[in-house]
Amino acid sequence: MKRIAICISLIFLAQIASGFDSKAVEYNSIGKKLYESQEYDRAIEYFLAAIELEPDYAEAHSNLGLVYYHLEMYKESLDEFKIAVSIEPTTPEYHICLAAAYERNGMVEEAIDELEIYLELTATRDSEEADEVGEVIDKLRGYEAAFTPEHYQEVSGVEQPIFSFIVISDVHMGENFDGGKQDSDYLYWILNDAYNAIKPAFIVVTGDITDSTNGGLMAIGGPYQKEWDEYRSIVDDSSVSYNNYYDIPGNHDHYSDRDFSYYLKNSIQGSVTGSTQHAWFLEDEGKKYQFIGVCTAGNDGRPWPMDNAGLDQSELGWINRAIDKSADMIFFFGHHPLEELEYGGEEFKSILLQYPSVYIYGHTHDYGISYYEDCMLVNVDSLGKSSVNHYLYGEVGANNEISVAPYNAYELPG
């Protein structure tokens, strides 16, 4: 089971407001735009104006609740979400919002009840979404999935490595529901102590840089700039730079941010290149290696628990143009497993099989190695949330031998 903190980002439902005063609908629409531009006080004014004209405008109540939630006014958000649910009890997303507000107000049983109602209302939705909601329910009840190392594998055999690299995934900056600082402490150690000791050619972050939880179990009203600020403060104060540190987005970095605006503004690679996909090279001992970071997060800004992962035609086109066919080996880095790509998956698999390649990804909060025909697939565990296997250490030899193995934080390869 995935061990992930649940992220419910900004949920502005595209409801048809038939029967409502046109001015109320306009005020609600303006409020949404103001929220998205982080003008929270003005957004509140417009949502209140919409509600004054139409007291039974459920979406306006929910949107007002989202702004209050983002501003950590949890009592006020709870009141608004209750009203939205009372008006439209069959709208699943309102129950998600209400559950999150209950959790922030210390009302655990009520939060569980709302999540179970959500599951009943969305019985036809895919199992991954149901699994994620069920995992939150378990955590609220105090359960924690036991770690079983059945997937632990190590590929070794490089006698004289010509370069090494580090991969981390699922940092989930801002996740401190359990009162710890694993996300920030482990990231600081990787970028300073581990980097200076290992001296890898580069470090890759395969997505879910931020958690969008604002320190809770469930998060709505995100993305949160302060999570990105904490992330950048650690990276900017470290030994890495744009030339050897490659951070690519995951689904948690994309919730309610269709254009990846927070990623493009705050990530190392995104802020420099203005792109969500990246390519770089390394040449040594007559060999050329290419590395490509692909953006498997959806392009629709859907809120949790929806995760429309995939590679669209524009992203696939970029990958095909970026590929150097003269490379001796190509390493692809993404966030999602191949089987979770809802679109573009078959095309991406075809690309992998055209070249000597490796695909390294995260998302599952587990470690394992598998193969898609001759392509090695390496699943990286979570730096910020897992209890073991916090980072991946890899080596490449002159004959394209590859060695990969997971290590715990504060442990160095022997």
Mean pLDDT of the chain, nearest integer: 88
Asked if 190 contacts 223 with a C-beta cutoff of 8 angstroms, the reply is no
Domains defined for the chain, CATH in brackets: 22-140 (1.25.40.10), 151-407 (3.60.21.10)
Residue with the two structure tokens 């300073």: 192
Q: Give the pLDDT mean for 311-338.
A: 96
Q: Give the pLDDT mean for 164-190.
A: 88
Per-residue pLDDT band for 216 (boundaries 50, 70, 90) equals confident
pLDDT score at 377: 97
291-305 residue pLDDT tens:
999 999 998 888 777
Cα separations in angstroms, 26 against 37, 54, 257, 362: 17, 12, 22, 41
- Residue 349, pLDDT > 80, answer yes
53-88 residue pLDDT tens:
999 999 999 999 999 999 999 999 999 999 999 999
Local structure of 232: helix, strand or coil = helix
Asked if 218 contacts 255 with a C-beta cutoff of 8 angstroms, the reply is no
pLDDT score at 376: 95
- Element containing residue 290 per DSSP (H, E): strand 287-293
Tell me the whole-structure pTM to 2 decimals: 0.78
Helices 313-322 + 345-354 axis angle, to 10: 10
pLDDT score at 16: 42
- Residue 152, pLDDT > 60, answer no
